């Protein structure tokens, strides 16, 4: 059997693989990340790609995933047909590794370097909160009382099928100014995509897809979860990578909104992330019904095995991106709310109580 010579594609694959390894080991200087990258190249790329994909009525990310799978399958068709050609198998392995390296470089340069930027706790004047058990219980009572007060107007506004888009846009714009993001951000039009059944099985409410700069939301989001979910993903769109920081943005956006549905969404999420104590007894039947709706949805849709495997994998991914706490990072935004002036102001706005 005649051996196929090394060709230009082999050289390209080696180069891409080495480039991926080099970028994985390189830590860009902070001056670059917080300057030319955060305020220059990233916003330009984000606005250009999101502007393009927003005009497409379907999820471009779905086509992207299908294309990558087809390329990967195509790489291995020839070795399987040729049988024992060792060079063919080696070449397929090289091209598969190069494809993975190419995707990694794309992800890292397009969005992944945001993980290396300082967290909001370092830029928002965060002071670790020092609350006694009694103080924490009073805080939970205030939030529970606010939940009861917001439940009826939020349900009434939802029943009128009011368009929440203007309120969502205004809340996000205000929050980005608060956290110091001054460059224009093109917000995504949320879409469903081909991985929606996977979202349901794992318990994922939404995702920002940095390859096509689109936001995907799970179809089983309840109406009172949707605002918090979307504001979280819009935080990622703005270049905020850490999950705790994106949740912090979602909390500020919803709690401090003038819209009853947004405030109710934020209060439900924040109270659900609290330790929860005697304040539970204060919750109205309407609020308890909404929490029960979340539990019933999760029990019906989430596959425990798939969810366990997926979240363990995501935990390892976050730790590889220098987020030491892994998936626990999602709930750390409560400390940001209590430990920053912006967070306490948002809590005050939602509860009508003062938090010094």
Check residue 131 and give its pLDDT: 79
Taking each helix axis as running N to C, give the angle between helix 285-301 and helix 260-272, from 0 to 180 degrees, rounded to the nearest 10: 70
Check residue 55 and give its pLDDT: 94
Which of 116, 134, 163 corresponds to the end of one domain? 116
pLDDT band, residue 49 (cuts 50/70/90): very high
Domain assignment of residue 139, given as a range: 121-351
Q: Which of 294, 326, 175 is nearest to 226 (CA)?
A: 294
Q: Report pLDDT digits (tens) over 132-177.
A: 888 888 999 999 999 999 999 999 999 998 899 999 999 999 999 9
Rounded Cα–Cα distance for residues 246 and 233 (Å):
7
Rounded Cα–Cα distance for residues 152 and 332 (Å):
29
Q: Does residue 329 fall inside a structural domain?
A: yes
Q: Which of 206, 249, 198, 248 is nearest to 226 (CA)?
A: 206
The dihedrals phi and psi of 207, each to the nearest 5 degrees, come to -160, 140
User: Is residue 259's pLDDT more than 60?
Assistant: yes
pLDDT band, residue 4 (cuts 50/70/90): low
Q: Does residue 3 fall inside a structural domain?
A: no
Looking at the chain, the number of H-run helices and the number of E-run strands are 16, 2
Which of 116, 139, 160 corresponds to the end of one domain? 116
Q: In terms of domains, do 80 and 215 share one?
A: no
Q: Report pLDDT digits (tens) over 57-112.
A: 999 999 999 999 999 999 998 888 776 677 888 889 999 999 999 999 999 999 99
pLDDT band, residue 327 (cuts 50/70/90): very low
**Terminal alpha carbon distance of the chain:** 79
Q: In terms of domains, do 44 and 178 share one?
A: no
Residues 240-265, mean pLDDT to the nearest whole number: 96
What's the number of domains the chain is made of? 2
Mean pLDDT of the chain: 89
Q: In terms of domains, do 145 and 238 share one?
A: yes
Check residue 1 and give its pLDDT: 45
Under a CB-based contact definition with an 8 Å cutoff, are residues 334 and 255 in contact? no
Check residue 30 and give its pLDDT: 94
User: Is residue 199's pLDDT more than 90?
Assistant: no
Tell whether pTM > 0.75: yes
Which of 59, 83, 116 corresponds to the end of one domain? 116
């Amino acid at each position: 059997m005649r051996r196929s010579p090394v060709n230009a594609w082999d050289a390209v694959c080696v180069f891409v693989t080495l480039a991926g390894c080099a970028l994985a080991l390189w830590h860009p200087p902070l001056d670059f990340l917080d300057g030319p990258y955060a305020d220059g190249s990233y916003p330009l790329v984000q606005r250009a790609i999101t502007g393009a994909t927003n005009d497409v009525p379907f999820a471009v990310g779905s086509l992207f995933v299908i294309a990558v799978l087809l390329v990967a399958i195509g790489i291995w068709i020839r070795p399987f047909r040729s049988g024992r050609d060792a060079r063919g198998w080696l070449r397929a392995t090289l091209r598969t590794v190069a494809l993975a390296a190419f995707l990694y470089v794309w992800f890292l340069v397009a969005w992944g370097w945001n993980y290396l930027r300082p967290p909001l706790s370092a830029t928002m004047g965060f002071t670790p909160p020092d609350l006694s058990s009694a103080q924490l219980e009073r805080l939970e009572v205030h939030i529970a009382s606010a939940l009861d007060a917001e439940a009826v107007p939020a349900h009434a506004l939802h029943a009128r099928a009011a368009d929440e888009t203007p309120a969502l846009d205004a809340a996000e714009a205000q929050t980005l100014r608060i956290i110091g993001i001054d460059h224009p951000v093109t917000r995504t039009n949320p879409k469903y995509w081909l991985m929606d059944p996977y979202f349901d099985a794992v318990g994922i409410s939404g995702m920002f897809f940095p390859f096509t700069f689109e936001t995907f939301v799970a179809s089983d989001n309840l109406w009172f979860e949707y605002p918090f979910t979307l504001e979280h993903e819009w935080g990622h769109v703005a270049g905020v990578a850490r999950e705790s920081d994106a949740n912090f943005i979602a909390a500020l956006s919803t709690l401090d909104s003038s819209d009853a549905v947004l405030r109710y969404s934020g209060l439900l999420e924040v109270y659900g992330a609290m330790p929860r104590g005697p304040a539970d007894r204060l919750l109205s039947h309407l609020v308890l019904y909404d929490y029960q709706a979340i539990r019933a949805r999760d029990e019906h849709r989430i596959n425990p095995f798939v969810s366990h495997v997926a979240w363990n994998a995501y935990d390892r991914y976050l730790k590889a991106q220098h987020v030491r706490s892994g998936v626990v990072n999602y709930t750390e935004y409560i400390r940001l709310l209590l430990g920053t002036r912006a967070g306490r102001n948002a809590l005050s706005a939602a509860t009508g109580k003062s938090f010094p």
